[in-house]
Amino acid sequence: MIDEANVYLPKFMDDYNRRFGCVARNDHDAHRPLLDRDGLDDIFTWQEERRVTAQLTVHHKRTMYLLEPTPEAKAAAKKRVTVVEYEDGHVSIRSRGVVLAARPFHKDGCVTQGSIVENKLLSGALIEIHKRQQSKEKALVKSAKTKRDKRIVRDRFAGTLPPPGP
């Protein structure tokens, strides 16, 4: 398929240029050579001015960037900096040409189920909640007056009976 396309390409280009090509009014070549100081990485970026807060944060596209408290970042507090977003999504923050160390803090962060399961603190909290529910169930069973009431309480906690209505 690609080989067939490569064979067809010169024929297509000749036909396309014959139909749509035109002679330039001026034959002067206005292109200039690329200099060492011309950084293509910076030319093909999206750049915006943002203000640094007193707490050394910068907001850009629903993400808050926390600046490291370096002398350069402290000097940029309450001043405007340049947020540079590269084509791959990487962001750097510059103040007077100096890149400031920053880490993103996403406002729209979502928690995945996998990260909840891996969180040891949550596991401990769930164990504590389970213990409290069991002690509450035991207290309710103990306070029930008849065997029938005790069975109803146990069934309700086991999930076999719906909760009582209003």
Q: Per-residue pLDDT tens for 95-138? A: 998 999 999 987 666 656 555 555 556 667 778 888 888 888 88
Tokens describing residue 75:
């000097």
More confident: 148 or 161: 148
Q: Give the pLDDT score at 163.
A: 55
Q: Which helix (H) or strand (E) holds 72?
A: helix 71-75
pLDDT tens readout for residues 13-71: 999 999 999 988 998 998 888 888 877 778 889 999 999 999 999 999 888 999 999 99
In a domain, 151, yes or no: yes
Do both 57 and 100 map to the same domain? yes
Find, among 78, 92, 87, the residue nearest to 48 by Cα.
92
Model-level pTM? Answer: 0.49
Do both 70 and 120 map to the same domain? no
In a domain, 145, yes or no: yes
133-137: list long-range contacts, CB under 8 Å, 24+ apart.
133/157
Do both 78 and 44 map to the same domain? yes
Torsion sign, CA atoms 152, 156, 162, 164: positive
* Domain extent at residue 154: 113-158
Do both 47 and 89 map to the same domain? yes
In a domain, 1, yes or no: no
Do both 144 and 122 map to the same domain? yes
Q: Is the pLDDT of residue 162 over 60?
A: no
In three-state secondary structure terms, 68 is coil
β-strand partners of 99:
94
Residue with token string 């977003």: 85
Do both 58 and 94 map to the same domain? yes
Q: Which of 91, 106, 121 is the last residue of a domain?
A: 106
Cα–Cα distance, 56 to 111 (Å, whole number): 26
Do both 74 and 46 map to the same domain? yes
Do both 51 and 72 map to the same domain? yes
In a domain, 94, yes or no: yes
Find, among 43, 41, 38, 85, the residue nearest to 65 by Cα.
85
